């Protein structure tokens, strides 16, 4: 009776072994990633885009061809982070999950740095008293910039994303103004109008 039951189990055991063997073999099947990278504005293909595929235990590097295409072979399924980068463009990254033996097409549209540039100072107008003093403001930006002011009663101290303005006493009887000009990349210009109260009135005796 026992021998008969064992004989009945043999086909099941063989089937299980073959089934699991197929799964193990499939886990080693290669994954193919491919696609095209184009300029988001013009739709023109971008060549020589650097592509890095960051896996759990490895990294793969490649570049797009002259027509913007790329083709990557990964040894097995899993997760990966793809990073696309090129000078003059904002880097683009995407995390993907892929099954072993799968083929994925990932087309990418990249923005130029100019398209993604932003420059947002906190103020546009500033009014101060006739006494000497200083104030500062922050700038939310992802571009480099410079600062200038032609008035000799104003001095500027620039930080990475901040500006400190120092001003002298106004000893005249008139209100005065100064233009603080911020000049950033890609032709961005931002003018801040600084107005200082008139100085004290002096009377002759």
Residue 16 pLDDT: 45
- pLDDT at 65 exceeding the cut of 50: yes
Mean predicted lDDT score pLDDT of the chain? 87
Identify the band that residue 98 occupies on the pLDDT scale cut at 50, 70 and 90.
Answer: confident
Higher pLDDT, 90 or 202: 90
Q: How confident is the model at residue 24 (pLDDT cuts 50, 70, 90)?
A: very low
Tokens for 191? Answer: 């003018």
Closest alpha carbon to 37 in 29, 28, 47, 27: 47
- Tell me the C-alpha distance between 191 and 196, whole Å: 16
Structural domain includes residue 11: no
93 plus 36 within the same structural domain:
yes
Structural domain contains residue 149: yes
Is residue 80 exposed (0-12), middle (13-18) or buried (19+ Cβ within 10 Å)? buried
pLDDT score recorded for residue 18: 37
Number of neighbours of residue 28 by Cβ within 10 angstroms: 11
Same domain (yes/no): 171, 99: no
CB 84 within 8 A of CB 93: yes
Q: In terms of pLDDT, which residue wins out, 95 or 14?
A: 95
- Looking at 113, 135, 154, which one is the last position of a domain? 113
Query: In terms of C-beta density within 10 A (0-12 exposed, 13-18 middle, 19 or more buried), how is residue 110 classed?
Result: buried
Q: What is the pLDDT of residue 99?
A: 83
Asked if residue 189 belongs to a domain, the reply is yes
Residue 38: is its pLDDT beyond 80? Answer: yes
Q: What is the pLDDT of residue 202?
A: 56
Question: In terms of residue numbers, what domain contains 109?
Answer: 30-113
Pairwise pLDDT comparison (2 vs 75), residue with the higher score: 75
- pTM over 0.75? The answer is no
Mean pLDDT of 7-16: 45
Query: What domain count does the chain have?
Result: 2
Q: Which pLDDT value is given to residue 178?
A: 98
The reply to whether 74 and 137 lie within a common domain is no
Is 192's pLDDT higher than 90?
yes
């Amino acid at each position: 009776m026992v021998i008969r039951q064992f004989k009945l189990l043999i086909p099941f055991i063989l089937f299980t072994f073959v089934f699991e063997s197929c799964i193990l073999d499939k886990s080693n099947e290669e994954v193919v990633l491919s696609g095209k990278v184009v300029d988001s504005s013009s739709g023109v293909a971008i060549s020589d885009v650097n592509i890095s595929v960051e896996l759990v235990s490895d990294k793969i590097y490649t570049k797009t061809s002259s027509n913007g295409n790329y083709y990557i072979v990964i040894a097995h399924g899993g997760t990966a982070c793809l990073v696309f980068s090129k000078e003059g463009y904002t880097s683009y990254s995407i995390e993907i999950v892929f099954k072993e033996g799968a083929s994925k097409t990932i087309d990418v549209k990249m923005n130029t740095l100019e398209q993604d540039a932003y420059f947002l100072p906190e103020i546009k107008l500033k009014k101060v008293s006739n006494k000497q003093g200083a104030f500062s403001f922050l700038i939310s930006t992802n571009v480099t910039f410079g600062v200038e002011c032609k008035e000799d009663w104003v001095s500027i101290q620039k930080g990475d994303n901040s500006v400190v303005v120092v001003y002298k006493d106004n000893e005249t009887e008139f209100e005065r103004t100064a233009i603080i000009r911020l000049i950033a990349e890609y032709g961005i210009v931002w003018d801040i109008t600084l107005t200082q109260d008139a100085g004290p009135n002096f009377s002759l005796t």
